[in-house]
Structure 1
Amino acid sequence: MNPSAPLDRAAELARESRFLTLCRVGFLGRGILYILIAWLALQTGRTEDLTGALEYLGHGSGRILLIVIAAGLAAYGLWRLADAAFGIENPGPDGKALRKRSAAGFIGLIYLYLSYKAVRIILAGHAGTMNAQEQADTVLDLPGGAVVLGIAAAVLAVAGLNQFRKAGKCTFLYNLDYRAQAPLAKWLGRIGYAARGVIFLTIAYLIGKAALDGTSNEAGGMEQALDFFSGPVLWAVALGLALFGAFSIIEALFRRIHEPPPPEEIKQKVERKLT
């Protein structure tokens, strides 16, 4: 046996441990962002999306936290992409596993993009990206843009219904350590996912209406979805988002996270697919 093999394996395990720790930081960062969005809506009446929450943190001492969150979101995004490519969380060639892997890849890209926005905020003081209306306007200017927006609205509607499905069946508990599968975690997740379902369906409605009207004025993301509500309904949805944030923190502590394949195994799989 190569005398350096144990040391090499120890170094590899240390790298994997750091990566998985950063994934947990990603869950923690997601929780903090959702709690911040809810706090701003409940305490100040200010509505923000995830980008707005990142920008809110990008001032003063919050910048240090933002740096940690950016690293965590990047690791979380890469982990999701690893699941999409290699099935580390959803193995198997069946249709259900492939659908989950496709969703994992999409989620991974979203969180990598959020990490990129966080880095932009750290370096430049702002995310420097188009808001929801500007994005919708750009799409509408393209040939068939209204159709594209309609498809986006349909995808978001399906995603919203899936959030309600998770809330009803409590599938979010499957990947938690048994120590966290308590009534508190169950109800935090159920209410939190239901609140996310409301937000997703509202965004789908706003984008769908923009597609039908051919104008971007009413298109929006989470910020505009929260603006859609007022009074007790807004408070209920914001509280639900805060509870989702709290559940994300539980995930950061107790979620079972499968390690991505070693670099050599990844290389071999890529080579097999290319040959």
Structure 2
Amino acid sequence: MTESKLGWAVPLMRAGYIGKGLVYLAVAGISLYSIWRGGNARDTSSALGWLDTTWGGGVTLFVILVGMVAYALWRVLDATFDLEDYGREAKGIVARIGMLVTGAVHLGIGVTVFSLLFGSGGGSGEGSSIPRHVGTIMSWPGGRWIIGAVALLIVAAGAHYMRQGWTNEYRQHLRANPVTTRWNPVLKAGLIAHGVVVGVVGLLFGFAAWQANPEQAGGTGEAFSWLSGQIYGQILVTAICVGLLGFALFCLVNAAYRIVPKVSGPDVQTLAAKLMPR
């Protein structure tokens, strides 16, 4: 398939980022509401489960489901045809493998949403299933090493997101216009906050591998719990949740204005070029 015939992948990308933005909007918004009421920040499953109980939540969940499937398909196409032009060198290959991993993660979120919409509602309040899956893998020969390798990959992904935010690399993938220019500081903070959460999830996987204890592993909810146990933890978690609202905006802005180099063409002005110091 030639690149010129892959223009239909762009609507998949847009739908995927809309779904992703709604997921993080739900997690961050519901977590902040819970903290304000004296509770704890919520993980992805419980936030989506809460949506399932609200008026209009089913429609939102269906949009998220479509978005998660679209995002997974987009990442497969992006990695296969290198639509974002990462190249065939080691750095580019690692980036494309990372796309497949993130696609699989979001497809997993889609499975959770599907179970809420069409199943018995499992996952809305049963806690994270990650320790159970980690325990299964640890029972395999060399399972601890596999989990350790996964931990390193997740930490590296978190560091990658934080670096993209800190160095403004994400600007290379966005069109320059009044929206992206005006909201650039929020996009930057959101991407860094997302990187922090992903990095902590990776650390938890590392603890699980090191201590041979799958209960140490976890997802977003466990990351929030770990952060809340640190000095000024509740303030830190609240700040991260506010940051994740910024990441939700980052996803929605990407849905509208993300540049796909091998499809969009070379004549599009990027946010990086617009804000380049003169």
| Alignment TM-score, normalising by the size of structure 2 | 0.79
State the shift of 1:43 in Å.
1.3
Establish whether residue 81 from structure 1 lines up as the match of residue 76 from structure 2: yes
Distance 1:206 1:247 in 2: 26
2:175 — aligned with what? 177
- Please give the root-mean-square deviation of Cα atoms over the aligned residues, in Å: 2.6
Equivalent residue for 1:209? 207
Match of 1:136 among 128, 134, 139: 134
The secondary structure found in structure 2 opposite 1:217 is helix
Summarize the alignment of residues 117-196 of structure 1 with structure 2, pairs less than 5 Å apart: 117-127=112-122, 131-179=129-177, 182-196=180-194
| Cα distance in 1 between the residues matched to 2:189 and 2:27 | 16
Q: Which residue of 2 aligns with 1:233?
A: 236
Q: Which residue of 1 aligns with 2:110?
A: 115
2:255 to 243, 252, 255: 252
Q: Greater CA deviation, 160-169 or 112-121? A: 112-121
In the other structure, the counterpart of 1:58 is 52
Change (3 A) 1:218 1:105: closer
Q: Alignment length, in residue pairs?
A: 247
1:102 aligned residue: 97
Query: What code does the residue aligned with 2:93 have?
Result: L
- SS of the aligned residue for 2:141 comes to coil
Residue of structure 1 equivalent to 2:270: none
Q: Say which of 4, 23, 47 aligns to 2:13.
A: 23
Question: Residue 44 of structure 1 corresponds to which residue in structure 2?
Answer: 34
Give the deviation of 1:182 after TM superposition. 4.2
Question: In structure 1, what is the equivalent of residue 275 of structure 2?
Answer: none
Greater Cα shift, 47-56 or 37-46: 47-56
Instruction: Tell me the amino acid that sits aligned with residue 157 of structure 1.
Output: V
Larger radius of gyration: 1
TM-score by length of 1: 0.80
Is the 1:133–1:218 contact (alpha carbons within 8 Å) kept by the matching residues of 2? Answer: yes
AA aligned opposite 1:82: L
* Structure 2 residue aligned with 1:5: none
Q: 1:50–1:184: structure 2 CA closer, same or farther, 3 Å change rule? A: farther
Residue matched to 1:263: none
Query: What one-letter code is carried by the residue in structure 2 that aligns with 1:55?
Result: G
State the distance in 2 between where 1:195 and 1:174 align: 19
Identical counterparts, % of pairs: 25
Structure 1, unpaired ranges of 5+? 1-12, 261-275
SS at match of 2:83: coil
How far 1:22 moved relative to its partner?
4.3
Cα distance in 1 for partners of 2:132, 2:151 equals 16
Distance in 2 separating the partners of 1:87 and 1:133 = 34
1:72 aligns with 2:72: no
